[in-house]
Every structure is written in C-alpha cells, then in structure tokens.
Amino acid sequence: MVTEVESRIGVVAPPVIERQTLTIERVFREHFDHVYRIVGRLLGPSASSLDVDDLTQQVFVAVNRALPGFRGESTVSTWLYGIASNVVLTHLRGFRRQRRLRRELDLAAATPEHARSPEQAYAEKQELVLVWKRLLSVKPDKRIVYVLYEIEGLSGAEIAVALGVPQATVFTRLHHARREVAKALLPLQRGRLP
Amino acid sequence: MTCAQLDRALLLESEQISGEQARVLFEHAAGCADCGGVLAAIRTARSAGRAHLPVAALAARARILAAVEGGGDPGIFQRWRGPLLVFAGAAAAVAIVEVSTVSPKTEVVAVPQQAAPIEATRETKTTANAIANTIAVAGGTAVLGKEAIAELVPDSELTALSLSSGELTIELEAGRAIEVITAGARVKVIGGRTVIAHRGAKTEVQVVSGTAKAWPKGSLTPKVIVAGETGAIIKVEEREAPKPRAPNLDAALKEAKAALITDAPRAAVLAEKVLDTVPKTTQQEAEALVILADAERRRGRLDASAELYAKVAAHPRGRSFAEEALLQRALILAKTDQSDAVLATLAIAAEQFPRGATAPERAALAAEMYLAKKEPLRAAEEIERAASFGRSLKLLEKRVEVARALLAQDAAAHRARAHSLLEALLDPSTPQALRIDAETLLKK
C-alpha cells in the first residue's frame, strides 16, 4: 500500500550516477546525522528527542521503500531533504501537534531550572525561543522552505527540486516566512542596525 | 514598520536580489531603522536557527538502523518509553514472541508503556525465550540469571539497568560501557564480561574480562575491579524495599518546583519540609534535593548548593538528575574559582555519563578551566575529544578561544593545531559571527 508520505515522495526525482551502488546501509551510514539534523530543525527545539527519533526512522523507512525508484536526477542529499520534509510535513498536519510544539516551547522558556546553567541559559535562550516560537506559528509548508533556505543553506533551485514545487513558490513561501519572523524580532533589533 | 522599501528589504541576503539593486538596498538599510531592523532580524533568526543542532544518541542510531533493516514499520516497531521489567524463572511470555517476530534482528524487547511485566523461562532454548531472558543494551547484552529482577532505566538510551535482585551477566563490546544500579551500588561495566549479583545486603561484582568500576552507595569515588578479580564484593547496608510515592509529598514537591522560578527562598523552605518527612533513599527525596539545590543556587548560597548537587549525584535514586547535578556543581565551583575541583567533578561526570547530553558543555567548561590555568594544550585536548559529542554554541565559541590562546602562547609551534580547531568552524551551519572570528584567526 502506498502511504501518503510515499505518494508525496513521488514528486521528487531520484539519482542515476549513484543508483547502482546505493543501498539503504550506505545511505544510512553517510546521511544519518544529516537527516537527523534536518528532522530536528524542521520540528524545532521544542520537539522531544523521541519525536525526532521516530520521524528520522520514518524517513529511512520511506527511503528504503523509495530506493528502487531512485533515478539520479538530483543528488542524494537533495532527495533526502525532500523525503524528510514530506515526512515532517505529514506529521505536522495535525493542529494539535503544532500547538503542542508551541506550548512546549513556552514551557521551555518558563522553566529555566531544566536549562544547563539556568539564569544564563535563560537569557541566552530568549532569542532562540522567540525565533522558533514565531517559526512554529508559520504554516508548515512555509516554515519548511524557511528552514531549508535560511538554516540549512539550500538554494531556491535545490528546494524546488526537493519539494517538487516551482522555484517561484519557494521564494514566495520564503518571503512570507521571513516577514513573519522579522515582524516578531523587529522590536529586539531597534538600535542594533547592521 | 512604515518604510516603503520594507518588502524589498525582506529580499536581502537571498538569491532574489543581487548586484547593484542589492547594494543600493543595503545602503538604504544602513540608514533606515525599519529596513535595517528587518535585515538584522533576518540575520538574528538565521543565527538562532543554526544554533539548534540536534544530534542523535548512539543508541537511537542503532535502534533506527535495526528497525529499517528489519523492514521496520515505524508504527509497529515502537521504542519502549516506560520501565521494562523482565523476570526470569517463570512461564514463557506470549508478548515476547509477538514482539520478537516484528524485528528479530534487533533482539530488543519492546513493550508499550504501562504493560504488564514480561515473564520468561531460562530453561527452554527457543529464540523467543533467549530474547526474553536477554536484555539488549548499548553495545552488548545483559543475560538474567534465574529469578533475577532487572529493569532498564527509562531514558537511559539502553545504557543503564536497575538490578533489584538476582544475577546479571553483562557482555559488552570492547570500549562500550553500561551501568548497573543496585540498592547498594552503582556499577559501571566497561567492555568484556562481568557478572553482577545483588542478594540481600550485598552486591557482588565478578569481572571475567574487561573492567568494572563500582561506586558504593553515597560515594563519588569508584572501586576499580579488573579482569580476574572474581571475588570483589561491595557490602551494603540492609536496605528497605522501595517505598511507594506519597501523594501528599508529590503535591508539596510540585508546589516547591513551581516556586523555584519566582520565589527561590520559599522553594527552599518547601523542599526542606519535604526532606524532613520524606522516606530516605526514595525518588521523592532525590527530587526534593534537586529542588533545594536549585533554590540555594538561585538565592546565591553557592557552597550549600554545590554540596547538595553532590548529594543528588550520589543518591541511589538520583541517577536521572545526576548528570545535570554534576554539571551544576562544576559550574558553581567554577564561579568560585576552584578549577581543580571543577575538573575533578567533570571527570566524575565523564566517567558516569561519557556521552551524556551535557558532554559538549562539560568539554567547554573543562577547556575554560585549562585556559584559566594557562594550559591551552590541555584545553585543546578537551575540545578535540568533544568533537564526537556533537556541537553546541559554547563549544564552538571555546574553539575560537582555545585557538587564540594556542597562537598567543606559541604561534609557530601550535599553528597547525589551532588551525585544525578553527577549520571546523568554517561549516556554513556555524553562526556567522563565529565563522568570521575563525576566518580572521586563520589569516594570522
């Protein structure tokens, strides 16, 4: 049975050059840390490591199933970005999940006793919390583009291939996400001009 | 936000605008509070976003690979989230057969939270029973003896077991380590084969190969047992059976914890009240000690707080707080300029939690201590050793400081090592300010 995630993966084009030697073991060995980091960043710092573990596992299960159809029309890492994004996007569809992530971020900000060095960490964390809090309220499809572009450093063209959307759509989503994040951070930036 | 250029300012530092257009817009932003603020916000958000660097625990990595290789359906292959009890010496358990058929390669016994204890027999040599009698741990296995009662410690990533009674044989790959906690001791098994038994009032540790370290209850100093020491025994006091949690104390603990943020003195008073009445060596006592330690630290009573954190770390039920407690103790000692004591505490933490969540921060603190002692080479060793622990902002910052100190001490002799530290910061995921610092130092 084709799952929703797999059907979404179908829009992503797979590789030719590495196709012959590409096995799930190799993909896992070479890209595990990378995939884990992407999933963790797409979910944000309020996600538990258990959720990141689960979704990373889902990504590799999906990779394993999609591997035979991998045609090499993009790099492996771009292909993985697409799969990871789709898995996370499907996961985040639930409004409750998103609300939970935001709530946990609030809790993280309000409970400094769990931070490494509470008083100091609390102050240091405020900026990060503010950024992610705003990001978690951005719609998941826009947030994913934002994370891939701003945090992971992919180009618009790479994101377009990974997500299977036109490049113009990537930049539109990026623009909206940037606007929302900037709006939230602007009060902090007054007097701190570049 | 009123500037007409605001929407265009949002395009800066992206591929959407470049060349002359970008230059003009950057110049405008430099003098415009709105557009300059937007640009600064974009940079801040990018930097804060990149500071979040999730790193998988080794056990999680192994578990995920096992699930994927086993054709794992993520909906069925569930990691356990609660205590897992395995009893030997009773009837074979159907639950184990069901779980083991899901992913037989993993030999991970998985049950949903709140599941009934699993019972298994040792006599029947079927695969299912072999699995039931064996607990998969990080880097090896733990085989339960007849009538042994053991429990994987929740959230320990398969690196800690609690042995209530009976005998446990641990077999680990060389260089791997797990902990076994009994009522009277904490035993760290490092590679090889070790048999640990807890009966009545004593814990016996028999090292066949490899090494083991045992911390008697309440001690921070381990007893080292090497291969061939087959009779090492740690005697412990007769201990009462674990007591159930007292609901009234749970409410008091919750109140104390809530007061921590806004009113530390009150939190301390509430925690002390709990400590007056709570049964000794219980989880609740450990929790009350943590709250009191935090409260004392917040109200500036650092010596008392450091002492309390040491008690938490040595508490028989304090394992889930121990790593953080040791770090907090080290941080307090650092504030009071006791660098040797800091390093000693960090060494204990590294022994007990070699790849724990606080490992990057511990490495950064150890490097800081060595820098304070004018020993940049030792500081560099700490940073280099921490490379496999994952990245943290503090550790990245410390790389720059250590490299700078190395160059200042003897640029000719230490240039290669300093450069090696700095080159790791050239990764695009490094916050921009640090990357610029690294690039500047590399040019020197």
Lowest mean pLDDT across A135-144, A184-193, B423-432: A184-193
Strand partners, B212: B189, B225
The ipTM is: 0.74
Give the nearest partner residue to A189 out of B44, B46, B324, using CB atoms: B44
**pLDDT tens for residues B121-172?**
232 222 223 334 667 777 778 888 777 787 777 666 678 888 888 888 888 8
Per-residue model confidence (pLDDT) at position B234: 52
The token duo for B336 is 């009071």
Count Cα neighbours of B100 within 13 Å in the Cβ-side half-sphere.
Answer: 18
- % of chain B surpassing 90 pLDDT: 10
- % of chain A surpassing 90 pLDDT: 11
- Has residue A147 got a pLDDT over 80? yes
- Has residue B435 got a pLDDT over 50? yes
Give the nearest partner residue to A193 out of B40, B45, B261, using CB atoms: B40
Q: Average pLDDT over chain A, rounded to whole? A: 73
Per-residue model confidence (pLDDT) at position B329: 92
Q: Average pLDDT over chain B, rounded to whole? A: 74
Question: Are A188 and B41 in contact (CB < 8 Å)?
Answer: yes
**pLDDT tens for residues B286-339?**
889 999 998 898 888 888 999 999 988 888 888 778 888 999 999 999 988 888
**pLDDT tens for residues A168-182?**
999 999 999 998 888
Which residues 67-106 in chain A show a CB within 8 A of chain B? Answer: none
| Separation of first and last alpha carbons in chain B | 42
**pLDDT tens for residues B336-367?**
888 888 998 998 888 777 777 788 888 989 99
Per-residue model confidence (pLDDT) at position A94: 56
**pLDDT tens for residues B188-199?**
898 888 888 887
Question: Are A41 and B54 in contact (CB < 8 Å)?
Answer: yes
- Has residue B369 got a pLDDT over 90? yes
Cβ density class B316-339: b for 16+ within 10 Å, e for less: bbbbbbbbbbbbbbbbbbbeeebb
Q: Which residue has the tokens 């929302």?
A: A180
- Has residue A35 got a pLDDT over 80? yes
For residue A50, the chain B residues in CB contact (below 8 A) are: 79, 81
**pLDDT tens for residues B21-78?**
888 888 888 888 888 888 888 888 888 778 777 877 766 777 777 777 655 433 322 3
**Maximum Cα–Cα distance for chain B, whole Å?**
82
More confident residue, B140 or A6: B140
Which residues 3-22 in chain A show a CB within 8 A of chain B? Answer: none
For residue A131, the chain B residues in CB contact (below 8 A) are: 44-45, 48-49
Lowest mean pLDDT across A118-122, B92-96, B372-376: B92-96
More confident residue, B229 or B388: B229
Per-residue model confidence (pLDDT) at position B371: 92
Per-residue model confidence (pLDDT) at position B182: 84
Write the DSSP symbol of residue A15. P
